Amino acid sequence: MMTTLVLILSGILIGAGVGIIWRDARRNARGAFISNRDARKDKPPEAEITISHRMPGKREPEAGQTANEHSFAFNELLQASAAATDDIDEPAPRRPALEKSWAALQPAIEAGIKSVNLVLRGIGASVGEPGERGWSYKNKGFGSFRRISIGSESVAWLRLEVSADGLLHATVKPHRDRWDHLGAACSKPVEGFDAVRASDLLSECLQPAATFAAQAMQTSRAGTSNGEAARDTRDDIFAAALRAANGALAQARASIVPLGPGSWDDQAQCHRTPFSIQVNGNEVARMHIDRHAHQLEVAVGVRDSHLANLGRRRRLPITGLTIHTLADVIASCVWPAVARFREKHQPA
């Protein structure tokens, strides 16, 4: 009886061992395959074609290929796949339309850049020439980059591009983390886009960079006394704002012409600078800008008493005054007299 039990137990153990060996042999075996050479048309339709068991999306190194070479080749494959995906993100029929829209916007964009640069140069900053035009990531927009410089240092990129949703986008991308506060993004509809809207879009997007440039200029003059530094900064803002206003008025063939250096006015008890407002060389009004201790006043008047309603007078606090704000006030005070003259002298 004991012998019979021993034989049965031995048979069970042998069967278990054979089962384990068979399972391991199947796990380590490579899958069957049939090469193209063997897959002939005369083969029976029952023939099964399988492939080896590999991780999906991963290539095995070829013979003689190092691990680094294999990794580089695999990365190239991924990049090619991503590029192919990018190509189908923006439907091909829309691309020529966006490129055509970009070309049509160039005159307005260039005029806006010119106007903004008049302001920026007064504080030592500038927007450079456009780079090569091209598509953005995943072909979402078509446009070009421009370099933003403060002094002799390039601090950020300005990306201008038109998108399929009918918007022109302006984005500032700083070069370094310490300039992250310069980053900004704005957009405006393409429909009806002109030089004025281009200037507004750029001014809004470049405001952080302009503020930083003005602060940098003020810091660089820290060696002078506090009173002299503040006066120099106000003079720079004053001169830059006049240039910006003249740039905007140039489209209407109007200009603000100085009538001499500013001087102290005993009656008004302020520093006064006189100007002549001209359209096509004809004087249409006079303007003076008075600088008081804490305020700046812009005043425009006409000689004809019947047109007194065209006169304008605005006061601004000197503290926190920006170039863009002062330029807007000057242009808004001058424009009614300019517009009245242009309407009166339009050809029949």
Count CB neighbours of 148 within 10 A. Answer: 26
Predicted local distance difference test score (pLDDT) of residue 251: 84
Q: Any idea which residue has 């029976």 for tokens?
A: 44
Percentage of the chain lying above the pLDDT 90 cut: 31
Residue 234 shares a structural domain with residue 333:
yes
Cβ 118 vs Cβ 240: under 8 Å: yes
Average pLDDT over residues 268-277: 88
Residue 289 resides in a domain: yes
Residue 271 shares a structural domain with residue 306:
yes
Q: Any idea which residue has 């359209």 for tokens?
A: 279
Could you say which of 162, 194, 220 is where a domain stops?
Answer: 220
Predicted local distance difference test score (pLDDT) of residue 59: 46
Residue 120 resides in a domain: yes
Residue 24 resides in a domain: no
Residue 184 shares a structural domain with residue 296:
no
Residue 8 resides in a domain: no
Could you say which of 220, 235, 268 is where a domain stops?
Answer: 220
Question: Among residues 268, 267, 307, which one has the least CA distance to residue 291?
Answer: 268
Residue 231 resides in a domain: yes
Residue 204 resides in a domain: yes
Q: Is the pLDDT of residue 220 over 50?
A: yes
pLDDT by residue (tens digit) across 78-101?
Answer: 454 444 444 445 555 568 888 999
Residue 130 shares a structural domain with residue 166:
yes
Residue 211 shares a structural domain with residue 241:
no
Residue 143 shares a structural domain with residue 169:
yes
Q: Number of folded domains in the chain?
A: 2
Residue 160 shares a structural domain with residue 242:
no
pLDDT by residue (tens digit) across 315-334?
Answer: 988 888 888 888 889 999 99
Distance CA(201)–CA(113), nearest Å, equals: 10
Residue 108 shares a structural domain with residue 210:
yes
Is the pTM for the entire model greater than 0.95? no
Kindly indicate the confidence band of residue 174, based on its pLDDT and cuts at 50, 70 and 90: very high
pLDDT by residue (tens digit) across 281-327?
Answer: 889 899 999 988 788 899 998 877 777 788 899 998 888 888 888 88
Residue 204 shares a structural domain with residue 288:
no
Which residues span the domain enclosing 127?
A: 94-220
Residue 235 shares a structural domain with residue 287:
yes
Predicted local distance difference test score (pLDDT) of residue 113: 94
Q: Is the pLDDT of residue 27 over 50?
A: yes
- CA 217 to chain CA centroid, nearest Å: 24
